[in-house]
Structure 1
Amino acid sequence: MHPETHLAQHHLRAADLRAEADAHRLAVQAKQPYALRTRLGWTLVEVGLRLASPRPAFAH
C-alpha cells in the first residue's frame, strides 16, 4: 500500500476514536444527576437509621 493510503486510514480511525470518546463522555455526563440522587438517597437512609436506632447507654 502507498504511504498516503495508510495516513488516510490513520486519520479516519483517529476521527472515529474521537467520536467514540465524545459519545462516551456525553453518556457519562448524562448519568451524573442519577449518581448525585443515589448518593443523596443513601445519605438520607443513613441519617434515618442513625435517628431510629437507640442511643447506647453510657456506664458511669
Structure 2
Amino acid sequence: MQHPETHLALHHARAADLHAQAEAHRLANAARPSRDLRIRLGWTLVELGLRLATPRPTALAH
C-alpha cells in the first residue's frame, strides 16, 4: 500500500504532465490554419483544376 503523500505527489506529477500536454496540443492547433480556410482553399483549387481541364467551346464557322 502506498503512503498517502506518495500517492498525492504522483497525482500532482501526472496532472502537471497532462496540463502540459493539453497546452502543447492547444498551441499546435492554434498554429494551424482554420479548417474553414483549408476547405475553401481546397474547393477553390478543385474548381480551378476543373476549369483548366475543361476544353473551351469553339465557335462554329458559318
TM score, norm. by length of structure 2: 0.59
Aligned position for 2:48 = 48
Going from structure 1 to structure 2, the CA distance change for 1:45 and 1:32 (only over 3 Å counts) comes to: closer
**Max radius of gyration: which structure?**
2
Identity %: 51
Residue-pair matches, total:
54
Kindly report which structure 2 residues correspond to 1:27-38, keeping only aligned pairs within 5 A, or say none: 27-33=28-34, 36-37=37-38
* Unaligned stretches of 5+ residues in structure 2: 56-62
TM score, norm. by length of structure 1: 0.60
Amino acid at match of 1:46: V
Aligned position for 1:6 = 7
- CA-atom RMSD, angstroms? 2.8
Output one character per residue of 1:18-55: Cα deviation in whole Å (capped at 9) or x when no partner.
11111111111111258725741x2222222444436x
